[in-house]
Chain A
Amino acid sequence: EVQLLESGGGLVQPGGSLRLSCVVSEFTFSSHAMNWVRQAPGKGLEWVSTLSASGAGTYYADSVRGRFTISRDNSKNTLYLQMSSLTVEDTAVYYCAKDRALVVPATPDYWGQGTLVTVSS
């Protein structure tokens, strides 16, 4: 069974940084693009970023470009999201989602349970 497990969420002050991790299992990690999607409390889903299978292609939402960096370690089956210059608008549950595609954000088919990031002073 495909599994994705996020970690690294928590409480951070505005302007601070945080790194999220997502460890996956039961699928060939290096053959799939991977996504980060967030959901603010009581709100809908918002795409954040996608990384191609090889790691060469990165894609970001306008709201996070220049502040967030997505990366992966295919040897550790792990996806990362480095977040900096955080604002209260970044408060959300952050989901890691496997994509059916190899390169671009297309179809998020398996999702982790999410990790909560709270930005507050």
Chain B
Amino acid sequence: QSALTQPRSVSGSPGQSVTISCTGTSRDVGGYIYVSWLQQHPGKAPKLLIYEVTRRPSGVPDRFSGSKSGNTASLTISGLQAEDEADYYCSSHAGTSMVFGGGTKLTVL
């Protein structure tokens, strides 16, 4: 049940694109389609952005997209907006458990 590895922080200017990586192992990210991305603003509950690697829940803008290659999943946010400034977490099914990444703080410059 080791945490997935994410960069501690990323930043970008409004309108730019940023990508956040999430590295696990073949026992979690690499082994299943159940990889998700969540957004959390300060003091708020997490919100699901991406599930099953690439799928977006209704209401999530298509500026948010997910992908996976091997044991690494990625979240790309295009056309950065000020309100995108938040913490982002990846999660993955891991057989009989779930594992989260350590979180990435996105700063919109």
Contact = CB atoms under 8 A, between A and B. Distances in A.
Interface in A6-57: 35, 37, 44-47, 50
Contacts, number: 67
Residue among A44, A45, A50, A113 having the largest count of chain B Cβ atoms under 10 Å: A45
Interface residues of A, number: 25
B92 to A, nearest CB: 9
Contacts of B36: 107-108
Contacts of B46: 45, 95, 97, 108, 111
Contacts of A109: 48, 51, 57
B31 to A, nearest CB: 13
Interface string B7-37: 0000000000000000000000000001010
B48 A110 contact: yes
A112 B103 contact: no
Interface of B: 1, 3, 34, 36, 38, 40, 45-48, 51-52, 57, 89, 91, 93, 95-103
